[in-house]
Amino acid sequence: MLAAQDRQRLSIFLNRGTEMSELKLEAKSFFDYIENGVLVGSRCLNCGHISLPQRYICPKCKSDQAELIEFSGKGKLAAFTVIYVPATEMLAAGYDAKHPYMVGIVALDEGPRISAQIVGMDLSDPQKIMIGTPLKMTSLDRVMGEAQKKVLAFEPAEME
């Protein structure tokens, strides 16, 4: 459930009372929600287009009428790659040629797609990883600069 404070911030923005500094804070809120295990986006009140992360101007119809929405965090693997030569921050997280990691595109149940690290998969034989595998949102602790942050990730969903 979205906090009353977030609904109030969005309401202020839609009523044209938002300063640019507040707008930056709003954009940052996507990552704040991830820290709390919640995946948010926006729905255009004019055409119904869903954006992830949230946008305050609809990319489809250019309307500025939007509402913040919470996603289920469930989806399916749409595409992936296994990375054996990591970026510097991933080296610091312990990944290398002998310890690769996986990044994928997840098609959320609500429609949007998002790129994130995929964990909990057997990377010893990537050809066995199946497109369409059910996934659920999780987060990973990652050191960023001096701070430790939670970043968006997905893991296999338990079959029901």
Q: In what order do the strands lie in the sheet with 40-44?
A: 50-51, 40-44, 66-70
Pairwise CA distance, residues 77 & 26, whole Å: 28
Q: Is the pLDDT of residue 1 over 50?
A: no
Percent residues over pLDDT 90 in the chain: 54
User: What per-residue confidence (pLDDT) applies to 148?
Assistant: 82
Average pLDDT over residues 110-121: 96
Which residues, other chains included, contact 45 with Cβ-Cβ below 8 Å and sequence gap of 6+? 63, 65, 66, 67
In this structure, whether the domain defined by 74-156 belongs to CATH 2.40.50 is answered with yes
Where do you find CATH 2.40.50 in the chain? 74-156
Residue matched to tokens 């338990």: 158
User: What per-residue confidence (pLDDT) applies to 11?
Assistant: 53
* Reported confidence tier of residue 45, pLDDT bands at 50, 70, 90: very high
User: Cα torsion at 60, 65, 68, 69 (round to 10°)?
Assistant: -60
